[in-house]
């Protein structure tokens, strides 16, 4: 129940046991095609350029900038947590002129301020679900006002856990992680870019490994003049795991899975409040899949600091929760309820364990 990885779906565990196929084996290529199609469904997009990248969510972030931003391009980044901060670093390494629009940690981005920060940015970027703070930013609102700019959304912790409707909203570029609400181990970055974005991409990006032009040629059509071309050896086992995780989510029903996340998050947040914790993220912008809390000093038992409580949870109850990051290290917890972990029984167990430790 940390901020990810979450527990994997049983279907994913079974996929990890399947015999290894070659990355050019026709049976594997069919699984790859199905994986891309399933990603389109969960992203809510028809974009052809939708594929799992061969790296973790952070590789998705790098691909999102390196393929669309070059030296001197104006990029507006909304920053209200660690991952918005990281976007500025990554965009800067592409030579972009980075315009930061900050909001306090725990608060959502001010959409109007982000949209008016630069007269004509090439790209506007924000994190949908800030894993460092538990805050949801209004991506639909940004998309509605983006104008000529491309809109980039980090969906690492939102995909499969809350509503993500890229085409309906008008998001051009998005990436996610596998180890959050999709219930798959970390190691791949689901990625998508709209035709509008692909038309404006950097032709020869500074990264060979993440060059979308070459990658799309591998995941693309299997025959005809634009037939599939080898780029790098695909991480076959992880793609089979993602295929199974997406299958589990879609078999349950995407809306049903999202509703499960919603209910678990609500129960957890109510229970934590009753125990005396304070919800950190602004009301109305709280993520159900990632709950952040602080506490009044007297709440923790004498002689046990927050790290001590987390160690007892891990060693006595087998429950992992996450600490705060940045200036909130030692003063905040981040509790995930994502993917296969998002079950009422897990909420009950954590709340019971905390009640034990706090002596409530």
Task: List the one residue from 16, 117, 266, 267 that touches a second copy (CB under 8 A).
Answer: 16
User: Cβ 81 to a second copy, closest distance in Å?
Assistant: 14
**Closest approach of a second copy to the CB of residue 314, in Å:** 8
CB of 145 to a second copy, least distance (A): 28
Which among 184, 161, 105, 186 is positioned nearest to 337, based on CA atoms?
Answer: 161
Parallel/antiparallel/unpaired status of strands 173-175 and 150-154: parallel
CA dihedral 137, 131, 157, 14 (to 10 degrees): -170
275: CB partners within 8 A, 6+ apart:
299, 351, 354, 355, 358, 360
Tell me how crowded residue 129 is: count the other CB atoms within 10 A of its CB: 29
Enumerate the β-bridge partners of residue 130: 135
Shortest separation between residue 312's beta carbon and a second copy, angstroms: 14
Task: Establish if 326 lies at the interface with a second copy (CB under 8 A).
Answer: no
Using CB under 8 A, pick the residue from 23, 100, 118, 263 that binds a second copy.
23
Q: How far is CA 265 from CA 149, 271, 297, 343, 346, in A?
A: 34, 10, 24, 10, 11
Q: Which two tokens mark 197?
A: 């974005």
Whole-angstrom Cα distance, residue 296 to residue 115?
37
Q: Spell out a b/e string for 204-231, using b for 16 or more CB atoms within 10 Å of the CB, else e.
A: ebeeebbbbeebbbbbbeeeeeeebeeb
| Kind of pairing between the strands at 129-130 and 135-136 | antiparallel
Q: Say which DSSP state 80 is in.
A: S
> Which segment (10-18, 217-225, 253-261, 348-356) binds a second copy by CB under 8 A?
10-18
Please tell me the count of residues contacting a second copy according to CB under 8 A.
51
* 287 lines the binding site for a second copy (CB under 8 A): no
Cα–Cα distance measured from residue 144 to residue 146, given in angstroms and rounded to the nearest whole number: 6
CA distance linking residue 254 with residue 242, whole number of Å:
15
Tokens encoding 216: 């799309």
List the one residue from 33, 48, 56, 317 that touches a second copy (CB under 8 A): 56
* 22 scored as a contact of a second copy (CB under 8 A): yes
The residue range among 135-143, 200-208, 219-227, 347-355 that interacts with a second copy, by the rule CB under 8 A, is 200-208
> Would you count residue 98 as binding a second copy (CB under 8 A)?
no
Residue 94 binding a second copy, by CB under 8 A = yes
Site for a second copy in 218-247 (CB under 8 A): 230-238, 241
- Check whether the bond before 182 is cis (ω within 30° of 0): no
According to CB under 8 A, which residues from 133 to 192 bind a second copy?
177, 179, 185-187
Is the separation of the CB atoms in 260 and 248 below 8 Å? no
Query: Which residue, 62 or 172, is less far from a second copy as judged by CB?
Result: 62
Q: Rank residues 238 and 272 by Cβ distance to a second copy and give the closer one.
A: 238
Q: Does 70 bind a second copy (CB under 8 A)?
A: no
Among 39, 42, 79, 90, binds a second copy (CB under 8 A): 90
Binder among 59, 69, 216, 293 for a second copy (CB under 8 A): 59
Stretch that binds a second copy, among 39-47, 199-207, 280-288, 298-306 (CB under 8 A): 199-207
User: Using CB under 8 A as the criterion, what x/- string covers residues 292-321 for binding a second copy?
Assistant: ----------------------x-----x-
Under the criterion CB under 8 A, does residue 55 sit at the interface with a second copy? Answer: yes
Q: Which residue ranges make up the site for a second copy (CB under 8 A)? A: 2, 4-5, 7-8, 13, 16-17, 20, 22-25, 54-59, 61-62, 86, 89-90, 93-94, 177, 179, 185-187, 204-209, 230-238, 241, 314, 320, 322, 325
């Amino acid at each position: 129940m940390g901020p990810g990885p979450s527990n994997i779906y049983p279907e994913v565990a079974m996929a990890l046991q399947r015999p290894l196929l070659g990355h050019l084996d026709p049976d594997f290529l069919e699984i790859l095609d199905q994986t891309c199609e399933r990603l389109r469904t969960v992203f809510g997009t028809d974009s052809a350029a939708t594929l799992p990248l061969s790296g973790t969510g952070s590789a998705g972030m790098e691909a999102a900038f390196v393929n669309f931003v070059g030296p001197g391009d104006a990029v507006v980044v909304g920053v209200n947590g660690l991952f918005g901060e990281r976007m500025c670093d990554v965009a800067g390494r592409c030579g972009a002129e980075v315009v930061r629009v900050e909001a306090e940690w725990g608060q959502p981005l001010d959409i109007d301020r982000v949209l008016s920060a630069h007269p004509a940015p090439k790209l506007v970027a924000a994190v949908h679900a800030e894993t460092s703070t538990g805050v949801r930013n209004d991506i639909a609102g940004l998309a509605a006002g983006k104008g000529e700019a491309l809109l980039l959304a980090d969906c690492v912790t939102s995909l499969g856990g809350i509503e993500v409707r890229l085409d309906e909203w008008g998001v051009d570029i998005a990436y996610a992680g596998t180890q959050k609400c999709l219930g798959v181990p970390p190691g791949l970055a689901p990625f998508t870019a709209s035709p509008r974005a692909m038309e404006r991409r950097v032709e020869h990006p500074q990264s060979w490994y993440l060059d979308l032009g070459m990658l799309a040629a591998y995941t693309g059509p299997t025959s005809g003049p634009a037939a599939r071309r080898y780029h790098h050896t695909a991480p076959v086992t992880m793609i089979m795991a993602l295929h199974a995780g997406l299958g589990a989510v879609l078999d349950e029903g995407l809306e049903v899975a999202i509703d499960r996340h919603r209910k678990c998050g609500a129960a957890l947040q109510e229970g934590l409040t009753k125990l005396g914790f304070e919800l950190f993220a602004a009301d109305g912008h709280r993520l159900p899949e990632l709950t952040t809390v602080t506490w009044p000093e007297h709440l923790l038992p004498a002689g046990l600091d927050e790290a001590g409580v987390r160690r007892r949870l891990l060693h006595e109850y087998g429950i992992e929760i996450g600490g705060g990051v940045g200036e909130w290290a030692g003063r905040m917890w981040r509790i995930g309820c994502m993917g296969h972990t998002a079950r009422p029984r897990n909420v009950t167990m954590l709340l019971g364990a905390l009640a034990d430790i706090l002596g409530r």
